[in-house]
Amino acid sequence: MSPASPEPPEARRALGRRTYAWLDERLDLGSVVAAARHKTVPIHRKSVWYYFGGVTLFLFLVQVATGLLLMLYYRPGPDSAFESVQFILAKVEFGWLVRAIHSWSANLLLLAAFVHMFSVFFGRAYRKPRELTWVTGVVLLLISFAFGFSGYLLPWNELAFFATKVGTDMMGVVPLIGKPLLTLLRGGEDVTGLTLFRFYGIHVAVLPAVMTAVLIVHLALVQRQGMSAPEKWESEPPAKRRTMPFFPNFLLRDLLLWVLVLNVLAILAVAAPFGFGPFEWPLGEKADAFAPSPEGIRPEWYFMFMFQTLKLLPARIGPVEGELVGVIGFGLAGLVWLLIPFVDRSPKGSRFVRWSGGAVLAYMVAMTVWGYS
């Protein structure tokens, strides 16, 4: 029997053309490709910030993929969750890698989302007509927080158990809705196995569904309205405005960055499967409600600025509990942040809003560093 001769390039190209034609006939791909070719991306000094949205999206896709793989072996429940994570780490082929990438990717996702959000804020990319893009973006960040908080409990280890207890306790101080919300989330008065089941359901079903829906709206808005450009770029005559085609030039750049981020993820996962410094997730001991709370309970780094603030507040501020003042304060600040496009409506941008945003960023960084020092 003679060996099969390799297919000539012309034949391969012909097969590709035929497949495209078959799909085009049914899906009208031509209009999509034409639209993509027509779409351009502004080129200016701040173009680099455009890529962080794409990186956040890529890391979300990594989360979905690794999360699905972890679900194959993870078994929720107070008697099985910790053991199944142990099993994933010790027995499942490349289980350690999947878990490490899931954990690292979650942290990098939050980091990229923060960078993306502040670059949008300081570039005033939220201005008309992109108010809703900003709102959906902030909602996506809040959903990412919820992902991080609910996922932290799932290994059912000592640190996660007590950190969840402290975190949900804070929720309980909110007047009127605090207690019912706490009971609903915990499945009772205390953090128990029921809480684990609820957090698992929220983490793998509720949040992904909501995130996907909001993400589709966010991406649709970006596609519909195009990339926001600095006011200076927009004020230049059309002939002087530099742009690049979205497809393939910008998309290939995005892809290049995604590939590099993937490599960074791989390096981090192999070098530090359980993280290091503020990014640390040791499995440790199994959760035990009757054990004394371990020393050094602290939240994930992205909650640290809030945790540190609440720690510094006195027990009472006037007639009100200090913790309540802190929780309500953060709630109101979040609401203002969400509504920034409607607060800053002046054509040139409010200097007060810009400086306030700078102060918020400086405060978050300072409190986070303080929390770890």
For residue 195, which of 162, 244, 170 has the smallest C-alpha distance?
A: 162
CB of 259 to another protein, least distance (A): 5
CB of 123 to another protein, least distance (A): 24
The footprint of another protein on residues 222-281 (CB under 8 A) is 244, 248-249, 252-253, 255-256, 259-260, 262-263, 266-267, 270-274
Q: Is 92 in the site for another protein (CB under 8 A)?
A: no
How do beta strands 243-245 and 40-42 pair? Answer: antiparallel
CB of 274 to another protein, least distance (A): 6
Cα–Cα distance between 192 and 168 in angstroms, integer?
A: 12
Residue closer to another protein (CB basis): 43 or 339? 43
For residue 148, which of 100, 97, 109, 196 has the smallest C-alpha distance?
A: 109
Residue closer to another protein (CB basis): 149 or 258? 258
Q: Is 33 in the site for another protein (CB under 8 A)?
A: no
CB of 62 to another protein, least distance (A): 14
CB of 266 to another protein, least distance (A): 6
Stretch that binds another protein, among 62-70, 84-92, 293-301, 329-337 (CB under 8 A): 84-92
Residue closer to another protein (CB basis): 95 or 167? 95
For residue 52, which of 101, 102, 119, 106 has the smallest C-alpha distance?
A: 119
Contacts of 234 (CB under 8 A, 6+ apart): 241
Q: Is 89 in the site for another protein (CB under 8 A)?
A: yes
Residue closer to another protein (CB basis): 4 or 271? 271
Q: Do residues 311 and 322 touch, judged by C-beta distance below 8 A?
A: no
| 317 beta partners | 320
Helix axes of 131-153 and 158-172: crossing angle, nearest 10 degrees:
130
| φ/ψ of residue 275, rounded to 5 | 75, -175
CB of 20 to another protein, least distance (A): 20
Q: Which residue has the tokens 């590099």?
A: 260
Size of the site for another protein (CB under 8 A): 24
CB of 46 to another protein, least distance (A): 19
Residue closer to another protein (CB basis): 244 or 359? 244
The footprint of another protein on residues 293-352 (CB under 8 A) is none
CB of 45 to another protein, least distance (A): 17
Residue closer to another protein (CB basis): 10 or 93? 93
| φ/ψ of residue 348, rounded to 5 | -90, -5
Handedness of CA 182, 333, 146, 98 (dihedral sign): negative
Q: What is the dihedral of CA 166, 169, 173, 177, to 10 degrees?
A: 140
Positions touching another protein (CB under 8 A) are 86, 89-90, 96-97, 244, 248-249, 252-253, 255-256, 259-260, 262-263, 266-267, 270-274, 283
